[in-house]
Chains A and B, each alone.
Chain A
Amino acid sequence: MKIIISILLCALLAYAVGIYGNLPWWSFVVTNLIVAIVVPQKSFHSFLIGFLSIGLLWAGLAIGIDQGNHHILSTKVATILPLKGSYISLLVLTSFVGALLGGLASLTGSFIKMK
């Protein structure tokens, strides 16, 4: 239960700091870190929380946008990057980049816990 709450909290805060385009794109690293300090978990659990929270947030946002756009832009970007024009690969990459960084941020935070 605590894990799910942490995931939701991380995702919510990451979304919130993402609304303001003037803040850097990696602001969720800071919020994940703080959540990991405030709601202590075992290190591996922390990583998982950070990984899933940002991974799911980014995947959810990107999939929502991509559906509404009928894959017009994702197909083009997936050709430039290059991912052979596969918007699914691009969604996976997007989600994974966010997830990995989110996981590392939470993991880092978990080592600061006071216990």
Chain B
Amino acid sequence: MRLLPFLASAVVTIGLVSLLNTQLSIGPTKSPKLGYFLSPQHGFWKNAEKINTNFDANLVAGELKGNVDVYIDDRLVPHIYADHDEDAYFVQGYLHAKFRLWQMDFQTRVASGRLSEIAGADKLSIDRFFRRLGMVYGAEQTEVKINETNPVMKATVDAYTAGVNAYMKQLAPEDLPFEFKLMNYEPELWTPKKTYLFLMFMSYDLTGRSAALDLQLTNTRDFLGYDLFNKLYTNTQDSLDPIIPKGTVYQKPSIVPIKPANSDTNYLMHKNTLAYQTQPSPEAPDKNNGSNNWAVAGSKTKSGRPILCSDPHLGLNLPSLWYEVQITTPTHSTYGASFPGSPAVIIGFNDSLAWGVTNAGRDVLDYYELKFKDSSQNEYWFNGEWKSVTKRKEVIKVKDSADVVEEIAMTYWGPAMFDAHYQNPQSKGRNLAVKWTAFTPSSGVEAFYQLNRAKNYDDYIHAISLWTCPGQNFVLATKSGDIAIKQQGAFVARWERQGDFIMPGQDSTYDWQGIIPNNENPTIKNPIRGFVSSANQKPTDASYPYYLGTASYFPLYRGISVNKHLANMNQITAQDMQALQTNNDNVFAATARPALMKYVQLDKLSPDAKRMVAEMTNWNLVNEEHAKGITVFKIIWDSVAQAVWGDELAGSDLALTKPDDFVLLDQMLKDSNWSIADDIRTKDKVENFKDQVTLGVENATLKLLELEKENKLEWALFKATRVLHLTKIPALSRMNLPIGGGMNIINATTENHGPSWRMIVHLTDEIEAYGLYPGGQSGNPGSPYYDSFVDYWAAGKYYRLLFLSKENLIKNERTKWHIQFKTAS
């Protein structure tokens, strides 16, 4: 033996193995373990799915009560046929895991503040935010309630969980999903709590904007003073076309919230001047989280049968939030989009009816200011005495670092999210407790379970009555000819402006005075106009007896566009509905462009600015992919808005929120001498809209010339719509999609946001349904089914959905594979 060469060679070999078996730091991220990652028998190559993969399988599962057949069609959509309901959910869980395991793990990690555990201290600010907001606390409340009071839902979620875990238990290490290998961690078994955490995340996504907005509104009010604030952030929307048509008469409210006597001085006009410390705050949910849905009655369709459409607008991600599935058991047969992470179908249709949802946008999250007795934060002043808190301990594990422990004081209101230990630029050094309807134990998951089985209008009303948070507009159309829409959720009975700002929390005066009873939530069934619709606008006009929340929650113009089109359409077909769902008309610009042209002083403009104005005026007011006029319009409009209120909002080092576009447009239309138009920084001159629009056009031109140079004036190039992988890694995403649309447009496709599931259901005897989402059924970036719908989606095309009985599906030419589940016996 040659000792020296041996030792040298051994050291180098072992050194290289360790190096290739270590995650190396590259900036803030870490590399995969390169040797493992590249190994063709262990690493990512194992995830490179064969193009013609045969998905046939015979599986045995002891948890099943009977046999289950799954037929998979050419788009990889499973059609589950089970003899027992629980078996169907077991198999749904199994299939979610088989195709979406990493996503399920990742999304519940985000929701429960456990990203640092896999990604290190870099993600700590996100984890702390979600822990302190009470996400885990909320999920626990629902889990306890379901376990104690709802055996059917407990059995359903348990069966789903068992299905997920049955898949995970047979999963060989080399077959772990790609992202686990990339980020070097392993999944843990599913639990019912993870399902409730996922649903909690949806509550955050759809109502959590208040967590940032209430603070921004408070800061803005403090900065401007209430009178100026009330002008810029008015709740009056002149052009509102509400969900429930104007002029509807509402019953007398059963709760009449009383405004506290001292609220003008202690709340509305209150001005807080505490110093603030800074901490990064994570991204707030997208302001554009919204949706369209509508249903037209048989009186307006060619077939004489209703047609229902639903397209929820959410963040566009890969793997998609949605997973298509058909579930057929002796009790029901349902098709639609499901959430990987939750049983049943969320937006879809069954033998008898179809339903869809849009976000209600109502404010259901408030902050209350606390006074702690001392720095121990063990007692707080409430209703004239020092009250003890309970401390909730949240331990955040951090990769390669010590645990971080959050001790959260639980108060009468809810968790004390912001305190001496946790501040951000918005909370301004205050002690703030969160009160949020998402903390109320809920059987919300049963609402969808019941909708899946609903046969008629009454079943639908009963099913959705179980829904509390996030509040939704549930649209309905039945084969028997009914159409309806109802805004349903647990909504706070508020007095005017209650909860728009941080509220005093030292006594119960400012507490919520009740939750509006379900039967007083805005509802309409079979209206004379022959259609119902919603697009996140205010549900009612001012005659509804409850305060709806600040207008900033309710976009105006998509609703106007939807209703205008539906009112004019007759003899409607499913194809007409496809055209409407992908419609790019810009009703906002149709009003705003003439307003701009009314004020612009053309003779004062530079030649370039004139050319840009001409580009805008020659535009056909449609947000088409190749249009340049919309880009010009958007930049000019934003620039004019900045000229009008940039001076009022300048100089604050706090996080403020911008006024809404409708405020400026409504004022331009009715008052050419609006006082806000004056630039308060120029003492010797009083500017008006003419000055500001002209200035705005000139400022915009500078930016537009740059865009022109970069060849980015075309709308799709400027907007650069992308469907982002959940890790935001571009190589796993679809970037720069050729698609029009945008904000205020029915085709609400913005940069990373838009129609996340387009569905059209024609309620003929044999249901005619179309749909797709911008993703693919497989979550594996190495599968051809990973993004297989994206191009079709961008082109505004649709797939005909296969919704058939078992006998007919087996015979259908689009049916490709068969997975058979057998019980152990």
Chain A residues proximal to chain B, CB less than 8 Å: 15, 18-19, 21-22, 24-26, 29, 43, 57-58, 61-62, 65-66, 68-70, 72-74, 76-77, 79-80, 85, 93-94, 97-98, 100-101, 104-105, 107-108, 111-114
Contacts and interface: CB of A to CB of B under 8 A. Distances in A.
A94 to B, nearest CB: 5
Nearest to B42: A25
A18 B42 contact: yes
A108 B13 contact: yes
A114 B1 CA distance: 6
Contacts of B390: none
B332 to A, nearest CB: 37
B50 A69 contact: yes
Contacts of A19: 41
B784 A25 contact: no
A97 B6 contact: no
A38 B39 CA distance: 25
B10 A108 contact: yes
A98 B39 contact: yes
Contact of A21 (B21, B49, B174, B786): B174
Given A21-B172, A69-B782, A73-B781, A58 B40 contact: yes
B45 interface: yes
B13 A25 contact: no
A102 B729 CA distance: 32
Interface-central residue, A19, A62, A73, A79, by most chain B CB under 10 Å? A73
A72 B48 contact: yes
17 contacts: A15-B41, A65-B40, A65-B48, A66-B45, A66-B48, A68-B50, A68-B51, A69-B50, A70-B784, A73-B45, A73-B48, A77-B44, A79-B730, A97-B34, A101-B35, A111-B2, A112-B6
A54 B689 CA distance: 74
Given A97-B38, A98-B39, 10 more contacts: A62-B45, A73-B44, A73-B45, A79-B730, A80-B731, A94-B40, A101-B17, A108-B6, A108-B9, A111-B1
A64 B47 CA distance: 13
B20 A101 contact: yes
A27 to B, nearest CB: 10
Contacts of A18: 39-42
Interface in B17-71: 17, 20-21, 34-36, 38-51
A77 B51 CA distance: 17
Contacts of B48: 65-66, 68-69, 72-74
Nearest to B18: A26
B671 to A, nearest CB: 54
Nearest to B3: A111
Contact of A62 (B2, B40, B175): B40
B239 to A, nearest CB: 46
A100 B732 CA distance: 29
A97 B35 contact: yes
Contacts of A21: 41-42, 172-175
B330 interface: no
B165 to A, nearest CB: 19
Contacts of A76: 731-732, 781-782
B13 A73 contact: no
Interface in B97-117: none
Interface-central residue, A25, A94, A111, A112, by most chain B CB under 10 Å? A25
B731 A100 contact: no
B20 A97 contact: yes
Nearest to A60: B40
Contact of B45 (A29, A61, A100): A61
Contacts of A105: 13
A113 B6 CA distance: 10
B1 A72 contact: no
B44 A104 contact: no
A112 B1 contact: yes
B41 A104 contact: no
Nearest to A79: B731
A29 B36 CA distance: 13
Interface in B767-818: 781-784, 786
Contact of A72 (B9, B34, B783): B783
List of 9 A-B pairs having minimum Cβ-Cβ separation, nearest first:
A73-B782, A18-B41, A21-B174, A111-B6, A79-B731, A61-B40, A69-B48, A21-B173, A73-B48
A101 B16 contact: yes
B178 interface: yes
Contacts of B175: 21
A31 to B, nearest CB: 13
B12 interface: yes
B607 interface: no
A15 B783 CA distance: 24
Given A21-B173, A69-B51, A100 B9 contact: no
Interface string B718-741: 000000000001111000000000
Contacts of B42: 18, 21, 25
Given A21-B175, A76-B781, A98-B39, A104 B13 contact: yes
B151 interface: no
B173 A22 contact: yes
Contacts of A66: 45, 48
Contacts of A114: 1
A107 B50 contact: no
B247 interface: no
B651 interface: no
B51 A70 contact: yes
B29 to A, nearest CB: 10
Nearest to B725: A76
Contacts of A74: 48
Interface in B693-733: 729-732
B5 interface: yes
Contacts of B45: 61-62, 65-66, 73, 94
A98 B12 contact: no
Interface string B164-178: 000000001111001
Nearest to A101: B16
Contacts of B182: 80
Given A69-B48, A72-B783, A73-B48, A113 B34 contact: no
Contact of B41 (A61, A93, A111): A61
B173 to A, nearest CB: 4
B781 A29 contact: no
Nearest to B175: A21
Interface in B158-201: 172-175, 178, 182
Contacts of A26: 17, 20-21, 35
Contacts of A62: 40, 45
A52 B435 CA distance: 66
Contact of B16 (A73, A80, A100): A100
Contacts of B9: 104, 107-108, 111
Contacts of B786: 72
B119 to A, nearest CB: 16
A93 B39 CA distance: 11
Interface in B593-629: none
Contacts of B10: 108
A94 B13 contact: no
A25 B573 CA distance: 58
B41 A25 contact: yes
A108 to B, nearest CB: 4
Contacts of B40: 18, 57-58, 61-62, 65, 94
A98 B37 CA distance: 11
Nearest to A111: B6
Contacts of B49: 69, 72-73
Contacts of A79: 730-731
Given A26-B21, A73-B48, A94 B38 contact: yes
A69 B50 CA distance: 5
Contacts of A80: 182, 729, 731-732
Contacts of A104: 9, 12-13, 16
A21 B45 CA distance: 13
Nearest to A50: B13
Contacts of A73: 44-45, 47-49, 178, 781-782
